[in-house]
Copies of this chain bind each other. A is one copy, B any other.
Amino acid sequence: MQPARRPGGRSAKVRAAVHDAVLELLREEDWDTLSIARVAERSGVHQATIYRRWGTLPALVDDTVTEQLSKGSPVPDTGSLRGDLEAYATQVAADVAGPLGRLYVRAAHIGTRGDDHETYMTDRAVQLEAMLQRARLRGEDPPGLLELMELVLAPIYYHAIFFNRPIGPEHARTYVDRLLRLRG
């Protein structure tokens, strides 16, 4: 379910208020008990409006996180596959190390609470697919999205989640080397 987007209109204001409430609640200690009722209370937007627009809590959290990522960390378009992958990997590492990092992991926890697992960060996946497709059109041989996730995203999150020690840009670039080496 895709919320309508009318920038500047009432709809956009409701969306922003609801997103802000989700981000605020994700920052709090009892984030794991986040619910649409609590988002409604915090945002001042009617619960019925939220349900109508987003359908479920995981869909709402997903929309919030994807919007943050798209605004703060647009998928790169540098003109080369390696350039795009390195820009992307170092950007994700920086995001995960920053204040939003923990929120993304919390959002993922909530996103996977229900049964509707296929939709998590769909918009983001579409943006990344477009990045890989641009490489293909330039005659390069890009990896698939799954390989990109498993070889680049997964270890970045792993370090952050299990060691609370986010990796730096140099380390992130070694994941791109590895990914390209496996395709060479």
A149 beta carbon closer than 8 Å to chain B: yes
Which residues of the other chain, B, contact A105 by a CB distance below 8 angstroms? 109, 161
A154 beta carbon closer than 8 Å to chain B: yes
Main secondary structure of the interface of A (DSSP, over half): helix
Residues on A lying within 8 angstroms of B by beta carbon are 29-33, 105, 108-109, 111-113, 117-118, 120-121, 149-151, 153-155, 157-158, 161-165, 175, 178, 181-182
If A178-B182, A181-B182 touch, whether A164 touches B30 (CB-CB below 8 Å) is no
Nearest CB of chain B from residue A159's CB, rounded to whole Å: 8
User: Which residue of chain B has its CB nearest to the CB of A117?
Assistant: B164
Question: In the assembly, how many copies of this chain are there?
Answer: 2
If A31-B32, A182-B182 touch, whether A120 touches B163 (CB-CB below 8 Å) is yes
User: Which residue of chain B has its CB nearest to the CB of A178?
Assistant: B182
Which residues of the other chain, B, contact A153 by a CB distance below 8 angstroms? 158
Instruction: Give the distance in Å from the alpha carbon of A150 to the alpha carbon of B156 in the complex.
Output: 9
Most chain B beta-carbon neighbours within 10 Å: one of A32, A105, A161, A162: A162
Nearest CB of chain B from residue A174's CB, rounded to whole Å: 9
Cβ–Cβ contact A162 & B32, under 8 A = no
User: Which residue of chain B has its CB nearest to the CB of A158?
Assistant: B154
* Given A108-B161, A150-B154, 11 additional A-B pairs, CB 8 A: A29-B32, A30-B33, A111-B162, A149-B155, A151-B155, A153-B158, A154-B154, A154-B157, A157-B158, A157-B161, A157-B162
